[in-house]
Structure 1
Amino acid sequence: MTLRGVGRFPADLQALRRWFAALGWKPFPFQEQVWRAAAAGGSGLVHAPTGTGKTLAAWLGALAHSRRRAMAREEAGEVDERPVGSGPRVVWITPLRALAADTLRALADPLPDLADWLAGADKGPASSSRQRSPRWQVALRTGDSTAAERSRLRKRWPEGLVTTPESLSVLLSLENAHDLFASLETVIVDEWHELLATKRGVQTELALARLRTLAPGLATWGLSATLANLDDALAALVGPAAAATASVVSAKIPRKLVIETLVPEPMERFPWAGHMGMRLLPQVLGVLDRATTSLVFTNTRAQAERWHDAIRGARPAWKETLALHHGSVDRELRASTEAAL
């Protein structure tokens, strides 16, 4: 026997499966689980390994939720009197401003192919109101946004807005914040582990509480790959009162990891401060020589600068393919690095 809502996949979400199939993909069970819960207006926490599709799970679920709400209003004969572009439907919070542009591209990619579905084309002949449904747009609002970009946003807000905790706090302080977020349906916090139990995390929790006041019924989703106590993380995300009805969606996807540790020879005591690890440069270069594309992560921006300079000095032939990337690097240089990757 097939149980309604459990074994039977919702008909209005079949378009997401078809979109995956057109790309030669097959959605993971956890992605479909998120689509179901998000489309129904639920909140939750997605815990899955890096690279398994958490972004598409949450984003497509948010689109499905917005579509269902629009279809319900139309079937009830309700008219949305708010002008197009008066405020976002989905807010995506990223803790890493330097990677916001990459997130924006990931959110924008499915929109052209899903435009007709979002407009309700599979519901039969388009009504006059549906014919006027605007195409979904996504945009950035971060500390990198220029005055001209901020001005364009105020004239026409996108349906999907990618921002940071700091920029969201600025938007919430605007005089028209109530109107701006009145139509907000879903907020998604990426890399929740990066914010949890930090000052920026408290700032995010306050912003989420304010958004839930401005937009009652707001769905909240968090994404992470490295959380330990999922119940506490969920409660901090959605609020203690809503934690009981929210979902924790965990993906159990086996992945083979190869870890190679570089140990300095001879082993000595680390200095109390200022350790840059430069003694490991020859060993790191040996690893990079064997690879084609590599990402070298450091603990601080200063350490990234030092290592970039050291590698460039040791391998001058890599000048055109070696790049530095962190939040204080010029925006255009960061964008060119991201495009090259």
Structure 2
Amino acid sequence: MTAPLDPNIPPPPQTGRTLTERIREEPIGLWAQLLTAFRDLSGTFDAFANDANPEVRALGRAARSRRPPQANDYFAIGDLCARLVVQGNTLSQTYAAKTVAAYARAGELASRERSVAYRAIVSFAFWLADVARMLGNYESLETAVLICEQARRLIADAGWVDDERRLQMTEDRLRDQVTHMLEGGHAAVDKRASVEQESRMLCDQGQILLRQGRPQEALERFEAAIAAWDANQSAWLWRAMALTDLGRFDEALASYDRALALEPESAGMWNNKGSLLMELGRLEAALQCFERAIDLAAPVSTVKAVYWLNRGKALYMLGRYAEARDALMHSHDLDPSPESAAGIAACRERLEGSSEA
């Protein structure tokens, strides 16, 4: 379920489109799907079918199954992602980027829908700018800057001169607000802090591009971020993700190793590296990464449930079904989900009548 918006924040604009048909997944079928990475035709991970939010994931997988693909599905996904953007007192850069990506995808699928998609993107960008100003924090303002820039670039060839100009003006005002916030009213900013901030901004831009399915452009931003500040652990992490999407797996693993050298206690990075190793069929190495992530994670958390889920997947693929079942049950105890339930059922089916049970 989507969280209700703060009553003082206006709801996001919506296209009002819905899926005409929803696809139901049987538990065992769902588990089989979870053991297969959802990628689009370019090899990039499907941003919607792999989303952590179950509603977005369900819509993403329904949209993927449609033949031929339908613009309406992606309008519906964009509307849902827009409703997920406000997270407490800040804006989610992830769902802001996915909103734009979904609407853009709808416009790509049907030329007659392109103007509707562009209008949805422009409306969303202006709404985001207004909300960012209301919230007033750096993260929200920076997210709005990046989305306004993306919206302006997307409509550049549409001939919408007035909207381009308004977006540029909005973007400039937001940048001024961000700059003033960073300077804190002082005439000069510490040079090191300025370099680090430039690196973080480049990394933020790369994240937006990666979530919009543009991994090569994203990689260029991450490498620029690293060139500006070599100790930017986040840039090394996101560089690894971009390289993964580009199929450059050895370089991606090396990038994960560099990120982990900078922050060896990051459970999330160990989990990400393990996920790539599992994709490559290096299951024992992946299992070690998931176990490290579990050791480093907070004692009880929904995030830790994901690490136990991944450990269960690796054990299942190694044929260690009893251990996989136990790992998945641990995940389910921390955060019950259809995925863990389906995995437990799959393990029990494998164990039925075997000596391992």
Task: Answer yes or no: same fold by TM over 0.5.
Answer: no
More helix, by proportion: 2
How high is the TM-score relative to the length of structure 2? Answer: 0.31
More strand, by proportion: 1
RCO comparison, higher one (Cα < 8 Å, 6+): 1
How high is the TM-score relative to the length of structure 1? Answer: 0.32
